[in-house]
Chain A
């Protein structure tokens, strides 16, 4: 099978991962809802980053979820995760999830969610 328009196709496919140096996996486990916050070191690192990394550092002065970061920067979720993984490892942002992000929230947390919803 031959693919028509092979060249432009390839460009399209590769482009998102140029931002990540070609990597397609993040080194840090980042659920969609994990909250990301810029650290002191992140604030101090202004000017050292690429455009997207800098945007993340600015955006996360107020904690934002991984999904929000991907949406605001208009970058694919997987790409956002890789950039975030680097920033986490460099200490420029910190993430916050529930204690066990892969498990269901426990009763105590559910109770708090219930209280929160009922107060809306």
Chain B
């Protein structure tokens, strides 16, 4: 078995509030048309061991879209957009497991929409960057104002991105990987 036949998968999570541009961000850099996978709400999968019980639980599904970026013959990056609504946070545990980190997208017109994602990543100890999606290139707030408004600690990057453009998306991912590397070097600082 050679390395090329067995590439290593890595994963980055793209989080943020409803309609902030997560799917657009993933699609801008993905090699494939983004795909959607559906999962059944946990209760049915985690607490049930036999068919009898499964029939008595509600089955709600959550859809996640994701893209794939070949980084080399040996490395494949998957980008997963988080389902926007709070009731799907159970899925986030699965998404951040083993991930390099997360990009939390922010629309400066609705700053508060990213609070749950920022809180979640902080508490879960997931390396993350805050990326302001400058809709139509219009930056309504300076990144440092956004940092202050969201109370983002100084060591966490706050950057400007454009979810529609591959180069901007790539630069944002580069920023996240660099940040994850500095976290890996000094794990005590979260």
Contact = CB atoms under 8 A, between A and B. Distances in A.
Interface of A: 10, 12-14, 16-17, 22, 24-25, 31-35, 37, 63, 65, 67-68, 70-72, 76-78, 96-98, 100-107, 109-120
13 contacts: A22-B51, A32-B80, A32-B94, A34-B9, A35-B8, A65-B68, A67-B66, A68-B35, A68-B37, A72-B35, A97-B98, A112-B71, A114-B178
Given A70-B38, A110-B177, A110-B181, A116 B6 contact: no
Given A32-B80, A71-B37, 13 more contacts: A13-B44, A13-B54, A24-B44, A32-B66, A32-B78, A32-B95, A33-B9, A63-B5, A77-B38, A78-B45, A96-B6, A114-B178, A117-B177
A117 B97 contact: no
Contacts, number: 157
Interface stretch (B55-63, B130-138, B144-152, B156-164): B55-63
B37 A33 contact: no
Task: Please report whether the interface of chain B is mostly helix, strand, loop or mixed according to DSSP.
Answer: mixed
B11 A37 contact: no
Interface residues of B, number: 55
Nearest to A35: B9
A65 B78 contact: yes
B173 interface: yes
Given A24-B49, A35-B76, A114 B174 contact: yes
